[in-house]
Amino acid sequence: ANHAAEKAAEALGRVALAAPNWRQALCSCGALEALAGWIRCGGAPRRLQKYLFWAAGAIAGLPFVAHELRNHVSSFEVVDAALCAIIAILDDDIDGEYALVGAESCADSDVPAVIQLVVETMRQHPGTPQVQAKGSHCLGLLVPLAPTSQAASSSAAAVALAAPAVVHAARRFPRRRDVVNGSALALRALFSLAPLHAAAAAKTQSGVFRDLAGA
């Protein structure tokens, strides 16, 4: 039954990727709601959850993924699948049949909230290396997208939360290559971030250095 459900979800996602004009139709006909129902039931195995989030990401993009992640932040299976979907949507370096090329991202103004959401998942699952690795990877992709205007105080706050989360992940799992790679990606993004404004940039960098010094 799970294998059939995986294939059904994959088929829906393939249609959405191959024919973007069908995405609204898939939403209207109840396909997206069916995927959401599976996600929300709480009983789907980890592998099936990944197919469900992948297909839903192809149809409705990052806003849907973030919404479901926010509502199930305590569930490892949902968090793991949602973070995978976010990476598939945002990472341009991913190729292959499961890259969500062309899927909807999110508005620039929503990026700080998504950063804070990813940080919250890492806080909720501090002992789970998969979440720490994928969460750090997500932060490495999201931080460069944060608005950098003088008025973007929410970006400064989000970045200030991201820095210690990434360093703590690397400190907790120094022998996990996936965690180290994700943390390195995020730290590069943090250190290359265009200053939101002088004070915020100084605060962010000093916070990262302080955390690194304690590693």
pLDDT along the chain (215 residues), means of 10: 90 94 92 93 90 97 97 96 97 87 92 97 98 98 84 80 94 97 95 60 56 59
- pLDDT at res. 211: 62
Q: Could you tell me if 2 and 51 are in contact, meaning their C-beta atoms sit under 8 angstroms apart?
A: no
- pLDDT at res. 117: 98
- pLDDT at res. 204: 56
**How far, in Å, are 74, 113, 149, 189, 201 from residue 152 at the CA level?**
29, 12, 5, 18, 12
Q: What are phi and psi of 128, to 5 degrees?
A: -105, 105
Q: Could you tell me if 171 and 124 are in contact, meaning their C-beta atoms sit under 8 angstroms apart?
A: no
Q: Could you tell me if 106 and 114 are in contact, meaning their C-beta atoms sit under 8 angstroms apart?
A: yes
- pLDDT at res. 153: 77
Residue bearing tokens 């919250």: 120
C-alpha 154/C-alpha 107 separation (Å) is 14
Helix (H) and strand (E) counts for the chain? 10, 0
DSSP states of 4-21 as a string?
HHHHHHHHHHHHHHH-GG
C-alpha 166/C-alpha 136 separation (Å) is 6
- pLDDT at res. 205: 54
Fill in the amino acid letter for 112. Answer: P
- pLDDT at res. 198: 42
- pLDDT at res. 11: 96
Rg (CA), the chain: 17
